[in-house]
Amino acid sequence: MKINHWFVSLSLVVFGAGCASGGHHEDAMPTEEEMMAKWGAFMTPGPAHEVLSKKVGTWSLEVNMFQPDGSSTGQSKGTSEVKWIFDGRYLHDTTEGDAMGMPFQGVGTTAYDNIKQKYVATWIDNMGTGIMYAEGRYDPATKTFHYEQQMPDPTMSAYVDARATERFLDDDHWVMESYTEGPDGKDYKVMEIRYTRVR
């Protein structure tokens, strides 16, 4: 893979900042070839990215929200358009629908971080002002992503620990479930979204 001089220059800037902060010694300076190889490894999608390809497409959504006792707090519908951006490095999800009787819009980004060796995801929507961030792994045996994240709880004016799973049922269906701690200290399912492929 050819990497232009811009990447090498950026590597030198980043490395120089590390030296200035005491993170490296001069005798540990990598060669230009080593820096190019590391940049190449970081920027190249691999098999872990290919797992995300099953999400590409247009989906209809059925959203269910729940109380700690398991009772439903409402159901809504939506659509989601998921596509690759930046040559297969990131999934970009644009979602529209309704929530609590109001129009809903959301945008998500999912990737596999070659440095962290984890799946990473962000989410923003018109029902808040924060950016949700998650990190996780994929279990091929169960075809399930497992994410750890923080969920905004405006009633507490805080972000609370949460977890989510995304499970492939088949090529045309998958389900997302989000959990957080309830009043009794046990996790309960806050939300479930069922995705059905439109195309």
With 80 as the cut, is the pLDDT of residue 3 above it?
A: no
Residue 19 confidence (pLDDT)? 52
**What average pLDDT does the chain have?**
89
Kindly list the structural domains of the chain, giving each domain's residue range(s) and its CATH number in brackets, ordered by start.
Answer: 5-44 (no CATH), 49-197 (2.40.128.20)
Return d(Cα 127, Cα 122) in angstroms, integer.
Answer: 15
Residue 29 confidence (pLDDT)? 85
Stated pTM of the model:
0.84
pLDDT by residue (tens digit) across 86-106?
999 999 999 999 987 899 999
Token pair listed for 53: 């390809």
Return d(Cα 14, Cα 20) in angstroms, integer.
Answer: 10
Alpha helices, H only, the chain:
5-20, 32-43, 47-50
